Amino acid sequence: MTSKKFDDITYQRDFESGQLAAIRCKHSSDCPFRLTDRRAAWQKGFRDATYENPTNTPIAAPENALGHILAIRNKFLTQ
């Protein structure tokens, strides 16, 4: 019988942390975990977010500075 070191909530949080790192254009080697199970969950999340964004461009929310810059740039280019 194997014992679980962490519960599913911990792994879900690590998975989501990996997704967030990919969205923020971090590198896969930036994983903060050294324990194998937690590192695997983080890397799965990282890969999931990376492959969900096939253009590999950062997702820019309009409320942040990059989003505002992209919106202004698009306005100039369309005129």
Contacts of 67 (CB under 8 A, 6+ apart): 60, 61
Report the chain's mean pLDDT, rounded to a whole number: 78
Q: Please check the confidence at residue 47 and state whether its pLDDT lies above 70.
A: yes
Can you tell me the distance from the alpha carbon of 40 to that of 63, in angstroms, rounded to the nearest whole number? 32
Confidence of residue 74 (pLDDT cuts 50, 70, 90): confident
* Residue 43: how many other CB atoms lie within 10 Å: 18
Most confident of 14-18, 21-25, 69-73: 14-18
For position 38, what pLDDT does the model report? 93
Tens digit of each residue's pLDDT (9 = 90 or more) over 64-73: 566 667 777 7
Domains of the chain as residue ranges with CATH:
8-78 (1.10.10)
Closest CA to 40 of 2, 6, 76: 6
Secondary structure (3-state) at 13? helix
For position 79, what pLDDT does the model report? 65
